[in-house]
A and B are shown apart, each in its own frame.
Chain A
Protein backbone atom coordinates (compact mmCIF):
# COMPACT_ATOMS: atom_id res chain seq x y z
CA UNK A 1 0.00 0.00 0.00
CA UNK A 2 2.97 2.26 0.29
CA UNK A 3 3.79 4.14 -2.79
CA UNK A 4 7.23 5.42 -3.53
CA UNK A 5 7.92 8.48 -5.59
CA UNK A 6 5.41 11.07 -6.51
CA UNK A 7 4.36 10.20 -10.04
CA UNK A 8 0.69 10.78 -10.64
CA UNK A 9 -0.10 7.43 -12.23
CA UNK A 10 -2.44 5.14 -10.31
CA UNK A 11 -0.77 3.11 -7.59
CA UNK A 12 -0.40 -0.59 -8.08
CA UNK A 13 -3.84 -1.78 -7.09
CA UNK A 14 -5.24 -4.82 -8.78
CA UNK A 15 -8.67 -4.35 -10.30
CA UNK A 16 -10.12 -7.02 -8.02
CA UNK A 17 -8.90 -5.41 -4.80
CA UNK A 18 -11.84 -4.04 -2.82
CA UNK A 19 -12.17 -0.30 -2.36
CA UNK A 20 -11.14 1.19 0.97
CA UNK A 21 -14.18 3.42 0.95
CA UNK A 22 -17.20 2.87 -1.18
CA UNK A 23 -20.16 5.23 -1.55
CA UNK A 24 -23.31 3.80 -3.16
CA UNK A 25 -26.31 5.78 -4.45
CA UNK A 26 -26.08 8.39 -1.76
CA UNK A 27 -28.88 10.92 -1.34
CA UNK A 28 -28.44 13.70 1.22
CA UNK A 29 -31.06 16.34 1.94
CA UNK A 30 -31.26 19.51 3.96
CA UNK A 31 -34.98 19.55 4.61
CA UNK A 32 -36.50 19.81 1.15
CA UNK A 33 -33.20 20.65 -0.57
CA UNK A 34 -31.46 17.70 -2.23
CA UNK A 35 -27.77 18.43 -1.80
CA UNK A 36 -26.60 15.05 -3.16
CA UNK A 37 -28.46 12.71 -5.50
CA UNK A 38 -27.37 9.18 -6.32
CA UNK A 39 -23.70 9.78 -5.65
CA UNK A 40 -21.49 6.70 -6.02
CA UNK A 41 -17.73 6.56 -5.83
CA UNK A 42 -14.82 4.36 -4.78
CA UNK A 43 -11.57 5.18 -3.08
CA UNK A 44 -8.91 2.49 -3.33
CA UNK A 45 -6.21 1.93 -0.73
CA UNK A 46 -3.18 4.14 -1.32
CA UNK A 47 -4.83 6.52 -3.76
CA UNK A 48 -5.27 10.26 -3.83
CA UNK A 49 -8.77 10.74 -5.16
CA UNK A 50 -10.05 14.22 -5.76
CA UNK A 51 -13.57 15.52 -6.06
CA UNK A 52 -13.83 18.77 -7.97
CA UNK A 53 -16.87 20.92 -8.39
CA UNK A 54 -17.89 24.53 -8.18
CA UNK A 55 -19.24 26.31 -5.15
CA UNK A 56 -22.46 24.73 -3.86
CA UNK A 57 -22.00 21.49 -5.80
CA UNK A 58 -22.27 19.47 -2.59
CA UNK A 59 -18.62 18.64 -1.90
CA UNK A 60 -18.67 19.61 1.77
CA UNK A 61 -21.98 17.80 2.19
CA UNK A 62 -20.40 14.59 0.89
CA UNK A 63 -17.41 14.79 3.25
CA UNK A 64 -19.60 15.56 6.22
CA UNK A 65 -21.80 12.60 5.39
CA UNK A 66 -18.79 10.28 5.15
CA UNK A 67 -17.54 11.37 8.56
CA UNK A 68 -20.98 10.99 10.13
CA UNK A 69 -21.75 14.66 10.74
CA UNK A 70 -24.74 14.37 8.40
CA UNK A 71 -27.05 11.40 7.91
CA UNK A 72 -27.92 10.31 4.36
CA UNK A 73 -31.54 9.98 3.27
CA UNK A 74 -30.65 6.97 1.11
CA UNK A 75 -27.62 4.99 0.08
CA UNK A 76 -24.72 3.40 1.86
CA UNK A 77 -21.12 4.17 2.71
CA UNK A 78 -18.84 1.25 3.50
CA UNK A 79 -15.30 1.05 4.76
CA UNK A 80 -12.92 -1.87 4.31
CA UNK A 81 -12.20 -3.37 7.75
CA UNK A 82 -8.61 -3.42 8.99
CA UNK A 83 -8.47 -7.17 9.38
CA UNK A 84 -8.58 -9.02 6.01
CA UNK A 85 -11.23 -10.84 4.04
CA UNK A 86 -13.71 -12.74 6.24
CA UNK A 87 -15.07 -9.48 7.62
CA UNK A 88 -17.53 -7.70 5.38
CA UNK A 89 -17.01 -3.96 4.84
CA UNK A 90 -18.33 -1.86 7.70
CA UNK A 91 -21.43 0.25 6.98
CA UNK A 92 -20.82 3.82 8.15
CA UNK A 93 -24.09 5.63 7.67
CA UNK A 94 -25.58 4.49 10.99
CA UNK A 95 -22.47 5.34 13.00
CA UNK A 96 -21.75 8.46 15.02
CA UNK A 97 -18.78 10.71 14.11
CA UNK A 98 -16.59 9.51 16.98
CA UNK A 99 -17.14 5.89 15.99
CA UNK A 100 -16.12 6.69 12.43
CA UNK A 101 -12.91 8.36 13.62
CA UNK A 102 -12.16 5.18 15.56
CA UNK A 103 -12.47 3.18 12.35
CA UNK A 104 -9.73 5.25 10.76
CA UNK A 105 -11.31 8.17 8.91
CA UNK A 106 -10.12 11.65 9.77
CA UNK A 107 -11.71 14.85 8.50
CA UNK A 108 -10.01 18.19 7.92
CA UNK A 109 -13.05 20.46 7.80
CA UNK A 110 -13.63 23.31 5.36
CA UNK A 111 -12.36 26.58 6.77
CA UNK A 112 -9.96 24.62 9.04
CA UNK A 113 -12.02 24.88 12.23
CA UNK A 114 -9.09 24.65 14.60
CA UNK A 115 -9.75 25.34 18.31
CA UNK A 116 -8.68 29.00 18.42
CA UNK A 117 -8.27 29.51 22.17
CA UNK A 118 -6.35 26.32 22.76
CA UNK A 119 -2.64 26.01 22.09
CA UNK A 120 -1.16 24.33 19.05
CA UNK A 121 -0.12 21.37 21.24
CA UNK A 122 -3.58 21.07 22.75
CA UNK A 123 -5.08 21.06 19.26
CA UNK A 124 -2.79 18.20 18.29
CA UNK A 125 -3.61 16.27 21.47
CA UNK A 126 -7.32 16.64 20.74
CA UNK A 127 -6.68 15.14 17.31
CA UNK A 128 -5.42 12.02 19.10
CA UNK A 129 -8.44 12.05 21.37
CA UNK A 130 -9.42 8.45 20.63
CA UNK A 131 -5.99 7.02 21.22
CA UNK A 132 -4.53 5.74 24.45
CA UNK A 133 -1.07 4.72 23.25
CA UNK A 134 2.15 6.67 23.01
CA UNK A 135 1.92 9.83 20.91
CA UNK A 136 5.55 10.89 20.75
CA UNK A 137 6.18 9.39 17.32
CA UNK A 138 3.11 11.13 15.92
CA UNK A 139 4.00 14.49 17.43
CA UNK A 140 7.48 14.13 16.01
CA UNK A 141 6.04 13.28 12.59
CA UNK A 142 3.76 16.34 12.65
CA UNK A 143 6.70 18.50 13.62
CA UNK A 144 8.78 17.08 10.77
CA UNK A 145 6.00 17.62 8.25
CA UNK A 146 5.23 21.11 9.59
CA UNK A 147 8.28 22.53 11.43
CA UNK A 148 6.39 25.77 12.08
CA UNK A 149 4.02 23.91 14.42
CA UNK A 150 6.94 22.96 16.63
CA UNK A 151 7.99 26.59 16.89
CA UNK A 152 4.44 27.65 17.71
CA UNK A 153 3.51 24.75 19.99
CA UNK A 154 2.55 26.77 23.06
CA UNK A 155 0.91 29.59 21.13
CA UNK A 156 -2.86 29.90 20.85
CA UNK A 157 -4.00 28.37 17.57
CA UNK A 158 -6.16 31.41 16.79
CA UNK A 159 -3.04 33.55 16.50
CA UNK A 160 -1.61 31.48 13.62
CA UNK A 161 -1.76 32.70 10.03
CA UNK A 162 -4.26 31.11 7.67
CA UNK A 163 -1.67 28.81 6.15
CA UNK A 164 -0.36 27.75 9.54
CA UNK A 165 -3.90 27.07 10.71
CA UNK A 166 -4.45 24.85 7.68
CA UNK A 167 -1.24 22.99 8.50
CA UNK A 168 -2.41 22.59 12.08
CA UNK A 169 -5.77 21.28 10.91
CA UNK A 170 -4.03 18.66 8.75
CA UNK A 171 -1.56 17.73 11.50
CA UNK A 172 -4.39 17.47 14.01
CA UNK A 173 -6.23 15.08 11.69
CA UNK A 174 -3.10 12.96 11.27
CA UNK A 175 -2.81 12.50 15.04
CA UNK A 176 -5.55 9.86 14.97
CA UNK A 177 -3.43 7.81 12.54
CA UNK A 178 -6.14 7.67 9.90
CA UNK A 179 -6.27 5.18 7.07
CA UNK A 180 -8.28 7.67 5.07
CA UNK A 181 -7.80 11.42 5.29
CA UNK A 182 -10.64 13.65 4.10
CA UNK A 183 -9.53 17.14 3.09
CA UNK A 184 -12.12 19.86 2.45
CA UNK A 185 -10.69 22.64 0.27
CA UNK A 186 -7.29 22.98 1.94
CA UNK A 187 -6.42 25.76 -0.54
CA UNK A 188 -9.33 27.98 0.52
CA UNK A 189 -8.24 31.58 1.04
CA UNK A 190 -4.51 30.86 0.97
CA UNK A 191 -1.73 32.45 -1.08
CA UNK A 192 -0.58 30.35 -4.08
CA UNK A 193 2.85 29.71 -2.62
CA UNK A 194 1.44 28.32 0.61
CA UNK A 195 -1.11 26.27 -1.29
CA UNK A 196 1.71 24.69 -3.26
CA UNK A 197 3.56 23.86 -0.05
CA UNK A 198 0.48 22.29 1.49
CA UNK A 199 -0.19 20.23 -1.62
CA UNK A 200 3.40 18.96 -1.57
CA UNK A 201 2.87 17.82 1.99
CA UNK A 202 -0.42 16.16 1.08
CA UNK A 203 1.49 14.18 -1.53
CA UNK A 204 4.11 13.28 1.08
CA UNK A 205 1.46 12.08 3.54
CA UNK A 206 0.03 9.90 0.79
CA UNK A 207 3.50 8.56 -0.08
CA UNK A 208 3.83 7.46 3.54
CA UNK A 209 0.74 5.30 3.12
CA UNK A 210 -2.35 7.34 3.96
CA UNK A 211 -5.20 7.24 1.45
CA UNK A 212 -6.49 10.70 0.62
CA UNK A 213 -9.84 12.05 -0.52
CA UNK A 214 -9.30 15.65 -1.53
CA UNK A 215 -12.20 17.99 -2.21
CA UNK A 216 -11.28 21.12 -4.15
CA UNK A 217 -12.56 24.03 -6.13
CA UNK A 218 -8.98 24.64 -7.22
CA UNK A 219 -9.28 21.90 -9.85
CA UNK A 220 -5.97 22.48 -11.53
CA UNK A 221 -3.81 21.81 -8.48
CA UNK A 222 -6.00 18.98 -7.24
CA UNK A 223 -5.87 17.16 -10.57
CA UNK A 224 -2.11 17.53 -10.64
CA UNK A 225 -1.53 15.60 -7.43
CA UNK A 226 -4.42 13.12 -7.64
CA UNK A 227 -4.53 9.70 -9.24
CA UNK A 228 -8.20 9.70 -10.03
CA UNK A 229 -10.91 12.31 -9.94
CA UNK A 230 -14.65 12.75 -9.85
CA UNK A 231 -16.51 15.82 -11.04
CA UNK A 232 -19.53 16.84 -8.96
CA UNK A 233 -22.17 19.16 -10.34
CA UNK A 234 -25.26 20.23 -8.40
CA UNK A 235 -25.28 17.11 -6.29
CA UNK A 236 -24.60 14.54 -9.00
CA UNK A 237 -21.40 12.89 -10.21
CA UNK A 238 -20.92 14.24 -13.74
CA UNK A 239 -17.87 12.20 -14.75
CA UNK A 240 -14.93 10.24 -13.44
CA UNK A 241 -11.55 9.39 -14.92
CA UNK A 242 -7.87 9.37 -14.17
CA UNK A 243 -6.71 12.79 -13.08
CA UNK A 244 -4.48 13.11 -16.13
CA UNK A 245 -7.33 12.37 -18.49
CA UNK A 246 -9.54 14.95 -16.80
CA UNK A 247 -6.80 17.56 -16.96
CA UNK A 248 -6.77 17.04 -20.72
CA UNK A 249 -10.56 16.87 -21.07
CA UNK A 250 -11.79 19.96 -22.96
CA UNK A 251 -15.11 20.00 -21.12
CA UNK A 252 -13.36 20.02 -17.74
CA UNK A 253 -10.87 22.59 -18.97
CA UNK A 254 -13.69 24.86 -20.01
CA UNK A 255 -15.73 24.53 -16.83
CA UNK A 256 -13.14 24.15 -14.11
CA UNK A 257 -9.71 25.08 -15.37
CA UNK A 258 -10.55 28.48 -16.77
CA UNK A 259 -9.46 27.51 -20.27
Chain B
Protein backbone atom coordinates (compact mmCIF):
# COMPACT_ATOMS: atom_id res chain seq x y z
CA UNK B 1 0.00 0.00 0.00
CA UNK B 2 2.72 2.58 0.73
CA UNK B 3 4.05 1.75 -2.68
CA UNK B 4 0.73 2.47 -4.31
CA UNK B 5 0.39 5.73 -2.40
CA UNK B 6 3.83 6.70 -3.69
CA UNK B 7 2.95 5.79 -7.23
CA UNK B 8 -0.09 7.99 -7.00
CA UNK B 9 1.84 10.91 -5.63
CA UNK B 10 4.17 10.82 -8.60
CA UNK B 11 1.56 11.24 -11.26
CA UNK B 12 -0.58 13.72 -9.41
CA UNK B 13 0.30 17.40 -9.43
CA UNK B 14 -0.01 18.79 -5.87
CA UNK B 15 -3.25 20.67 -5.39
CA UNK B 16 -3.23 24.39 -4.72
CA UNK B 17 -4.05 24.69 -1.01
CA UNK B 18 -7.54 25.96 -0.19
CA UNK B 19 -6.35 28.99 1.79
CA UNK B 20 -4.34 30.20 -1.18
CA UNK B 21 -7.36 29.96 -3.44
CA UNK B 22 -9.53 31.77 -0.89
CA UNK B 23 -6.97 34.53 -0.65
CA UNK B 24 -6.90 34.77 -4.43
CA UNK B 25 -10.67 35.18 -4.69
CA UNK B 26 -10.66 37.75 -1.91
CA UNK B 27 -7.92 39.68 -3.66
CA UNK B 28 -9.89 39.53 -6.89
CA UNK B 29 -13.00 40.92 -5.20
CA UNK B 30 -10.95 43.70 -3.59
CA UNK B 31 -9.33 44.46 -6.94
CA UNK B 32 -12.81 45.05 -8.37
CA UNK B 33 -13.08 48.14 -6.19
CA UNK B 34 -10.33 50.21 -7.86
CA UNK B 35 -11.33 48.67 -11.20
CA UNK B 36 -14.84 49.98 -10.59
CA UNK B 37 -13.45 53.46 -9.92
CA UNK B 38 -11.44 53.27 -13.10
CA UNK B 39 -14.44 52.16 -15.16
CA UNK B 40 -16.67 54.83 -13.66
CA UNK B 41 -14.16 57.49 -14.58
CA UNK B 42 -13.34 56.31 -18.07
CA UNK B 43 -16.30 54.47 -19.51
CA UNK B 44 -19.48 56.05 -20.81
CA UNK B 45 -22.61 55.31 -18.80
CA UNK B 46 -23.94 52.85 -21.31
CA UNK B 47 -20.87 50.61 -21.45
CA UNK B 48 -20.56 50.72 -17.68
CA UNK B 49 -24.16 49.58 -17.40
CA UNK B 50 -23.59 46.76 -19.87
CA UNK B 51 -20.59 45.51 -17.90
CA UNK B 52 -22.61 45.57 -14.70
CA UNK B 53 -25.45 43.71 -16.36
CA UNK B 54 -23.05 41.10 -17.70
CA UNK B 55 -21.95 40.36 -14.14
CA UNK B 56 -25.56 39.98 -12.99
CA UNK B 57 -26.23 37.76 -15.98
CA UNK B 58 -23.34 35.57 -14.87
CA UNK B 59 -24.94 35.27 -11.43
CA UNK B 60 -28.24 34.23 -12.98
CA UNK B 61 -26.78 31.79 -15.48
CA UNK B 62 -24.38 30.18 -13.02
CA UNK B 63 -27.03 29.72 -10.37
CA UNK B 64 -29.39 28.11 -12.89
CA UNK B 65 -26.50 25.98 -14.10
CA UNK B 66 -26.30 24.42 -10.65
CA UNK B 67 -29.95 23.33 -10.83
CA UNK B 68 -30.27 22.68 -14.53
CA UNK B 69 -26.84 21.81 -15.88
CA UNK B 70 -25.01 20.25 -12.97
CA UNK B 71 -27.85 18.50 -11.12
CA UNK B 72 -29.94 17.93 -14.26
CA UNK B 73 -33.25 19.25 -12.86
CA UNK B 74 -34.93 21.07 -15.70
CA UNK B 75 -36.23 24.25 -14.09
CA UNK B 76 -38.12 27.04 -15.82
CA UNK B 77 -38.70 28.98 -12.62
CA UNK B 78 -35.58 31.07 -12.38
CA UNK B 79 -37.31 34.35 -13.18
CA UNK B 80 -39.67 33.58 -10.29
CA UNK B 81 -36.79 33.27 -7.83
CA UNK B 82 -35.33 36.42 -9.26
CA UNK B 83 -38.65 38.23 -8.75
CA UNK B 84 -38.83 37.19 -5.10
CA UNK B 85 -35.36 38.64 -4.51
CA UNK B 86 -35.99 41.76 -6.56
CA UNK B 87 -39.26 42.67 -4.85
CA UNK B 88 -38.10 41.80 -1.35
CA UNK B 89 -34.96 43.85 -1.69
CA UNK B 90 -36.63 46.63 -3.68
CA UNK B 91 -39.50 47.31 -1.34
CA UNK B 92 -37.44 47.11 1.85
CA UNK B 93 -34.76 49.32 0.36
CA UNK B 94 -37.28 51.91 -0.75
CA UNK B 95 -39.00 51.92 2.63
CA UNK B 96 -36.00 51.96 4.93
CA UNK B 97 -33.83 54.32 2.93
CA UNK B 98 -36.93 56.55 2.92
CA UNK B 99 -36.83 56.60 6.73
CA UNK B 100 -33.16 57.50 6.77
CA UNK B 101 -31.17 54.25 6.69
CA UNK B 102 -27.76 54.24 5.08
CA UNK B 103 -28.39 53.03 1.50
CA UNK B 104 -25.21 50.93 1.25
CA UNK B 105 -25.75 49.09 4.53
CA UNK B 106 -29.44 48.65 3.81
CA UNK B 107 -28.75 47.31 0.30
CA UNK B 108 -26.20 44.83 1.61
CA UNK B 109 -28.70 43.58 4.15
CA UNK B 110 -31.72 43.47 1.85
CA UNK B 111 -29.96 41.89 -1.10
CA UNK B 112 -29.10 39.02 1.24
CA UNK B 113 -32.61 38.97 2.74
CA UNK B 114 -34.01 38.84 -0.81
CA UNK B 115 -31.69 35.94 -1.58
CA UNK B 116 -32.82 34.12 1.54
CA UNK B 117 -36.50 34.57 0.72
CA UNK B 118 -35.84 33.30 -2.78
CA UNK B 119 -34.06 30.34 -1.17
CA UNK B 120 -37.21 29.61 0.83
CA UNK B 121 -39.12 29.68 -2.46
CA UNK B 122 -36.47 27.31 -3.83
CA UNK B 123 -37.16 24.96 -0.94
CA UNK B 124 -40.88 25.07 -1.68
CA UNK B 125 -40.26 24.29 -5.36
CA UNK B 126 -37.52 21.78 -4.60
CA UNK B 127 -39.85 19.53 -2.67
CA UNK B 128 -42.19 18.73 -5.58
CA UNK B 129 -39.05 18.38 -7.68
CA UNK B 130 -38.38 15.19 -5.77
CA UNK B 131 -41.40 13.59 -7.36
CA UNK B 132 -41.30 15.06 -10.84
CA UNK B 133 -38.76 14.65 -13.57
CA UNK B 134 -38.05 16.01 -17.01
CA UNK B 135 -40.93 17.72 -18.71
CA UNK B 136 -43.19 17.50 -15.69
CA UNK B 137 -40.70 19.33 -13.52
CA UNK B 138 -40.27 21.96 -16.21
CA UNK B 139 -44.03 22.54 -16.31
CA UNK B 140 -44.32 22.67 -12.52
CA UNK B 141 -41.51 25.24 -12.20
CA UNK B 142 -43.00 27.23 -15.06
CA UNK B 143 -46.26 27.26 -13.12
CA UNK B 144 -44.44 28.43 -10.02
CA UNK B 145 -42.93 31.35 -11.91
CA UNK B 146 -46.32 32.38 -13.26
CA UNK B 147 -47.87 32.18 -9.79
CA UNK B 148 -45.21 34.55 -8.48
CA UNK B 149 -45.95 36.86 -11.41
CA UNK B 150 -49.69 36.85 -10.79
CA UNK B 151 -49.29 37.38 -7.04
CA UNK B 152 -46.97 40.35 -7.59
CA UNK B 153 -49.18 41.82 -10.30
CA UNK B 154 -52.21 41.78 -8.05
CA UNK B 155 -50.60 43.04 -4.86
CA UNK B 156 -50.53 46.77 -4.22
CA UNK B 157 -48.68 46.61 -0.92
CA UNK B 158 -47.95 44.39 2.05
CA UNK B 159 -48.30 46.45 5.21
CA UNK B 160 -46.13 49.53 4.81
CA UNK B 161 -44.17 47.93 1.98
CA UNK B 162 -45.14 48.88 -1.56
CA UNK B 163 -45.32 46.20 -4.25
CA UNK B 164 -46.98 48.35 -6.87
CA UNK B 165 -49.08 45.67 -8.65
CA UNK B 166 -49.05 45.87 -12.47
CA UNK B 167 -47.44 49.30 -12.56
CA UNK B 168 -44.34 48.01 -10.79
CA UNK B 169 -42.16 49.43 -8.11
CA UNK B 170 -40.05 52.49 -8.73
CA UNK B 171 -37.96 54.88 -6.74
CA UNK B 172 -35.62 52.15 -5.52
CA UNK B 173 -32.37 53.79 -4.43
CA UNK B 174 -29.55 53.21 -6.90
CA UNK B 175 -26.90 51.26 -5.07
CA UNK B 176 -25.67 48.56 -7.45
CA UNK B 177 -22.36 49.37 -9.09
CA UNK B 178 -20.03 47.27 -11.16
CA UNK B 179 -18.22 46.47 -7.93
CA UNK B 180 -21.35 44.97 -6.34
CA UNK B 181 -22.26 43.01 -9.43
CA UNK B 182 -18.75 41.68 -9.99
CA UNK B 183 -18.49 40.66 -6.33
CA UNK B 184 -21.77 38.76 -6.62
CA UNK B 185 -20.58 37.09 -9.83
CA UNK B 186 -17.28 35.99 -8.30
CA UNK B 187 -18.94 34.64 -5.15
CA UNK B 188 -21.56 32.76 -7.19
CA UNK B 189 -19.04 31.17 -9.52
CA UNK B 190 -16.70 30.18 -6.68
CA UNK B 191 -19.53 28.71 -4.59
CA UNK B 192 -20.98 26.70 -7.47
CA UNK B 193 -17.51 25.55 -8.53
CA UNK B 194 -16.70 24.41 -5.01
CA UNK B 195 -19.97 22.55 -4.77
CA UNK B 196 -19.67 20.88 -8.15
CA UNK B 197 -16.05 19.83 -7.90
CA UNK B 198 -15.78 18.88 -4.26
CA UNK B 199 -15.52 15.18 -3.50
CA UNK B 200 -19.07 14.96 -2.16
CA UNK B 201 -20.30 17.37 -4.83
CA UNK B 202 -19.91 14.72 -7.53
CA UNK B 203 -23.27 13.61 -6.15
CA UNK B 204 -24.94 16.44 -8.11
CA UNK B 205 -23.52 15.11 -11.37
CA UNK B 206 -24.40 11.55 -10.41
CA UNK B 207 -28.04 12.57 -9.99
CA UNK B 208 -28.01 14.19 -13.42
CA UNK B 209 -26.44 11.11 -14.98
CA UNK B 210 -28.70 8.50 -13.41
CA UNK B 211 -30.84 9.28 -10.45
CA UNK B 212 -31.74 5.70 -9.55
CA UNK B 213 -28.12 4.56 -9.73
CA UNK B 214 -27.12 7.55 -7.62
CA UNK B 215 -29.59 6.48 -4.95
CA UNK B 216 -28.31 2.92 -5.20
CA UNK B 217 -24.79 4.21 -4.53
CA UNK B 218 -25.93 5.61 -1.22
CA UNK B 219 -26.38 9.21 -2.33
CA UNK B 220 -29.19 11.01 -0.53
CA UNK B 221 -30.76 12.26 -3.77
CA UNK B 222 -33.49 14.21 -1.97
CA UNK B 223 -30.94 16.24 -0.07
CA UNK B 224 -28.87 17.14 -3.11
CA UNK B 225 -31.82 18.04 -5.32
CA UNK B 226 -33.27 20.35 -2.69
CA UNK B 227 -29.82 21.81 -1.99
CA UNK B 228 -29.37 22.62 -5.67
CA UNK B 229 -32.74 24.39 -5.78
CA UNK B 230 -32.17 26.31 -2.57
CA UNK B 231 -28.67 27.54 -3.46
CA UNK B 232 -29.61 28.25 -7.08
CA UNK B 233 -32.66 30.22 -5.94
CA UNK B 234 -30.62 32.15 -3.38
CA UNK B 235 -28.26 33.51 -6.01
CA UNK B 236 -31.12 34.22 -8.41
CA UNK B 237 -32.73 36.24 -5.61
CA UNK B 238 -29.48 38.13 -5.03
CA UNK B 239 -29.27 38.93 -8.74
CA UNK B 240 -32.89 40.09 -8.68
CA UNK B 241 -32.22 42.41 -5.74
CA UNK B 242 -29.15 43.87 -7.43
CA UNK B 243 -31.07 44.38 -10.68
CA UNK B 244 -33.70 46.39 -8.82
CA UNK B 245 -31.08 48.55 -7.15
CA UNK B 246 -29.44 49.08 -10.53
CA UNK B 247 -32.46 49.99 -12.66
CA UNK B 248 -34.25 51.68 -9.72
CA UNK B 249 -37.47 50.25 -11.04
CA UNK B 250 -38.94 46.78 -11.41
CA UNK B 251 -42.20 45.57 -12.86
CA UNK B 252 -43.86 42.17 -12.95
CA UNK B 253 -43.51 41.78 -16.74
CA UNK B 254 -39.73 41.49 -16.36
CA UNK B 255 -40.14 38.24 -14.46
CA UNK B 256 -42.33 36.23 -16.79
CA UNK B 257 -41.31 32.90 -18.24
CA UNK B 258 -39.55 34.44 -21.26
CA UNK B 259 -36.97 35.65 -18.77
CA UNK B 260 -36.54 32.11 -17.44
CA UNK B 261 -36.16 30.82 -20.98
CA UNK B 262 -33.47 33.39 -21.68
CA UNK B 263 -31.50 32.10 -18.70
CA UNK B 264 -32.06 28.48 -19.73
CA UNK B 265 -30.69 29.40 -23.15
CA UNK B 266 -27.46 30.58 -21.51
CA UNK B 267 -27.06 27.25 -19.75
CA UNK B 268 -27.80 25.21 -22.85
CA UNK B 269 -25.51 27.32 -25.05
CA UNK B 270 -22.67 27.34 -22.55
CA UNK B 271 -22.71 23.59 -22.13
CA UNK B 272 -24.91 22.11 -19.43
CA UNK B 273 -22.63 21.39 -16.51
CA UNK B 274 -19.69 23.52 -17.62
CA UNK B 275 -19.40 26.45 -15.22
CA UNK B 276 -16.92 28.41 -17.32
CA UNK B 277 -18.83 27.64 -20.53
CA UNK B 278 -22.01 29.10 -19.06
CA UNK B 279 -20.15 32.19 -17.82
CA UNK B 280 -18.81 32.65 -21.33
CA UNK B 281 -22.30 32.27 -22.81
CA UNK B 282 -23.63 34.86 -20.34
CA UNK B 283 -21.02 37.35 -21.51
CA UNK B 284 -21.39 36.68 -25.23
CA UNK B 285 -25.18 36.68 -25.26
CA UNK B 286 -25.40 39.87 -23.24
CA UNK B 287 -23.18 41.63 -25.77
CA UNK B 288 -25.18 40.12 -28.62
CA UNK B 289 -28.47 41.17 -27.11
CA UNK B 290 -27.21 44.73 -26.63
CA UNK B 291 -26.15 44.81 -30.26
CA UNK B 292 -29.62 43.59 -31.23
CA UNK B 293 -31.19 46.24 -29.06
CA UNK B 294 -29.38 48.84 -31.18
CA UNK B 295 -30.71 47.17 -34.30
CA UNK B 296 -34.24 47.56 -32.98
CA UNK B 297 -34.15 51.14 -34.16
CA UNK B 298 -33.76 49.81 -37.69
CA UNK B 299 -36.02 46.73 -37.67
CA UNK B 300 -38.68 48.00 -35.23
CA UNK B 301 -39.10 44.53 -33.70
CA UNK B 302 -37.38 42.91 -30.77
CA UNK B 303 -35.06 40.45 -32.46
CA UNK B 304 -33.61 39.08 -29.28
CA UNK B 305 -35.94 36.14 -28.75
CA UNK B 306 -35.77 35.19 -32.42
CA UNK B 307 -32.00 35.19 -32.30
CA UNK B 308 -32.00 33.22 -29.04
CA UNK B 309 -34.27 30.63 -30.60
CA UNK B 310 -32.11 30.42 -33.71
CA UNK B 311 -28.96 30.08 -31.64
CA UNK B 312 -30.56 27.30 -29.63
CA UNK B 313 -31.64 25.45 -32.76
CA UNK B 314 -28.20 25.79 -34.31
CA UNK B 315 -26.54 24.61 -31.11
CA UNK B 316 -28.85 21.60 -30.89
CA UNK B 317 -28.01 20.69 -34.46
CA UNK B 318 -24.27 21.33 -34.49
CA UNK B 319 -23.15 21.04 -30.91
CA UNK B 320 -25.84 19.52 -28.71
CA UNK B 321 -23.48 19.41 -25.72
CA UNK B 322 -23.20 23.22 -25.81
CA UNK B 323 -20.19 25.43 -26.30
CA UNK B 324 -18.02 23.65 -23.77
CA UNK B 325 -19.84 20.36 -23.26
CA UNK B 326 -19.16 19.38 -19.66
CA UNK B 327 -15.56 20.62 -19.86
CA UNK B 328 -14.10 23.63 -18.09
CA UNK B 329 -11.84 26.23 -19.61
CA UNK B 330 -9.26 26.47 -16.83
CA UNK B 331 -9.50 23.06 -15.27
CA UNK B 332 -6.12 21.33 -15.31
CA UNK B 333 -6.20 17.74 -16.45
CA UNK B 334 -4.39 16.50 -13.43
CA UNK B 335 -4.99 12.92 -12.47
CA UNK B 336 -7.34 12.48 -9.58
CA UNK B 337 -5.34 11.03 -6.74
CA UNK B 338 -7.37 7.96 -6.00
CA UNK B 339 -5.27 6.77 -3.10
CA UNK B 340 -5.97 9.81 -1.01
CA UNK B 341 -9.10 9.86 1.14
CA UNK B 342 -11.64 12.29 -0.20
CA UNK B 343 -11.07 15.75 1.27
CA UNK B 344 -14.05 17.13 3.10
CA UNK B 345 -16.11 19.55 1.07
Contact = CB atoms under 8 A, between A and B. Distances in A.
Interface of A: 67-69, 96-98, 101-102, 106-107, 109, 113-119, 121-122, 124-127, 129-130, 132-137, 139-140, 153-154, 172, 176
Interface stretch (B143-151, B198-206, B248-256): B198-206
Contact of B218 (A102, A116, A121, A134): A102
B1 A117 contact: no
A118 B209 contact: yes
Given A121-B338, A154-B335, A136 B220 contact: no
A122 B218 contact: no
B250 to A, nearest CB: 38
14 contacts: A69-B216, A96-B220, A98-B218, A98-B219, A98-B220, A113-B212, A113-B216, A115-B205, A117-B273, A118-B206, A125-B342, A126-B203, A126-B219, A136-B5
Contacts of A154: 335
A97 B216 contact: yes
A67 B216 contact: yes
Contacts of A137: 1
A202 B186 CA distance: 49
Given A121-B338, A125-B338, A126-B202, A113 B213 contact: yes
Interface in B158-213: 199-200, 202-203, 205-206, 209-210, 212-213
Q: 6 closest pairs, A vs B, by CB?
A: A101-B218, A136-B339, A115-B209, A113-B213, A130-B218, A97-B215
B271 to A, nearest CB: 12
Size class of the contact patch on chain B: 20 to 34
B217 A132 contact: no
Contacts, number: 96
B4 interface: yes
A257 B1 CA distance: 45
A140 B212 contact: no
A117 B326 contact: yes
Nearest to B205: A118
Nearest to B209: A115
B13 to A, nearest CB: 14
Contacts of B273: 117
Contacts of A172: 217
Contacts of B131: none
Contacts of B341: 132-135
A117 B209 contact: yes
A137 to B, nearest CB: 6
B331 interface: no
B336 interface: yes
A114 B216 CA distance: 11
Contacts of A130: 218
Contacts of B210: 113-116
A132 B342 contact: yes
Contacts of A121: 336, 338
B72 to A, nearest CB: 10
